[in-house]
């Protein structure tokens, strides 16, 4: 058909130069492999709401993959005393965490009665087994060698988890950055067994206090510290929303993977990140 100016016009309203032939070109779906992604939701029951349960967890794992991508790059920057590029990466991590936090609100639309209709179909699978979430915890400094036993059945994954366990966390690298700037930190804080959970150190707190008391001189370290606080805060909010959503849906039932469920998730809230960055606030 023709428009008022006598020119040919596509009835669907497409602009003239929009690509429509993808026989030899890569399309949006090709680039994103949507055929694989959108065909990966396999319900184990006929219940309508199991689709919600699957998609919430699959999308969360994709966001976690991006968090790990950003944390790895930010940690490398800090290790090479190139702090500024890490700030953008860490800001992005914080924004991704907000997406993960909000996802619990969507899952919370699943009622206890609805979940019970398909919960027994999940077998022993549980979010506790999410290796990406465990890698995030490791990257932030919450190391626990006992959690690796969950992954023993997959040799390659188990090796990857062991490697992550023995690598310095982003906070370990931040403490090393303090030393590189001439701030005094106990040798034990920067030369320790990285596979162990980080424990508070008075000299580290004092070094961070120096940074916070002279922001102008240590602006980049101060900015790094606040980016880490943002991430630690968001991770705690994610944990809290996880716990309350689980409590809302299953109460105090045992988790599908055998954990104590809500009780376990409540204990996890006591495991904070970057302790000196929180304790110094009382002493400023």
The binding site for substrate comprises: 53-57, 115, 119, 256
Q: Extract the annotated binding site.
A: 53-57, 115, 119, 242, 256
Distances 38 to 51, 175, 267 between C-alpha atoms, Å: 12, 43, 36
Residue with tokens 């110094």: 280
Q: What token pair was written down for 181?
A: 């700037």
Distance CA 42, CA 34 (A): 15
Q: Do 279 and 205 touch, CB atoms closer than 8 A?
A: yes
Q: Do 253 and 261 touch, CB atoms closer than 8 A?
A: yes
Q: What token pair was written down for 218?
A: 């240590």
Q: Extract the annotated binding site for heme.
A: 242
Q: Do 170 and 140 touch, CB atoms closer than 8 A?
A: yes
Distance CA 261, CA 110 (A): 17
CB-based contacts of 96, cutoff 8 Å, min separation 6? 63, 66, 67, 70
Q: Do 181 and 166 touch, CB atoms closer than 8 A?
A: no
3-state secondary structure of 104: helix
Rg (CA), the chain: 24
């Amino acid at each position: 058909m023709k428009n008022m100016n006598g020119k040919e016009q596509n009835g669907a309203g497409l602009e003239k130069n929009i690509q429509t032939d993808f026989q030899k070109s890569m399309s949006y779906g090709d680039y994103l492999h949507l055929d694989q992604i959108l065909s990966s939701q396999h319900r184990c029951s006929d219940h309508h709401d199991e689709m919600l349960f699957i998609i919430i967890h699959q999308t969360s794992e994709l966001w976690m993959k991006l968090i790990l991508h950003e944390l790895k790059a930010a940690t490398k920057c800090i290790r090479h005393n190139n702090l500024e590029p890490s700030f953008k990466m860490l800001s992005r991590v914080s924004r991704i965490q907000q997406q993960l936090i909000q996802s619990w609100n969507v899952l919370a639309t699943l009622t206890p009665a609805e979940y019970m209709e398909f919960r027994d179909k999940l077998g022993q699978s549980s979010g506790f087994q999410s290796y990406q979430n465990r890698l995030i915890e490791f990257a932030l400094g919450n190391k626990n060698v006992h959690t690796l036993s969950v992954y023993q059945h997959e040799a390659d994954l188990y090796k990857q988890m062991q490697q992550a366990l023995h690598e310095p966390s982003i906070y370990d690298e931040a403490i090393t950055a303090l030393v590189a700037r001439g701030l005094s930190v106990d040798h034990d804080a920067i030369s320790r067994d990285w596979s162990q959970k980080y424990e508070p150190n008075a000299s580290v707190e004092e070094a961070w206090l120096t940074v916070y008391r002279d922001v102008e001189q240590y602006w980049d370290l101060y900015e790094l510290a606040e980016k880490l606080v943002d991430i630690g805060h968001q991770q705690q909010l994610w944990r809290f929303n996880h716990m309350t959503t689980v409590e809302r849906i299953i109460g105090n039932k045992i988790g599908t993977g055998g954990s104590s469920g809500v009780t376990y998730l409540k204990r996890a809230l006591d495991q904070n990140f970057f302790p000196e960055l929180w304790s110094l606030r009382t002493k400023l």
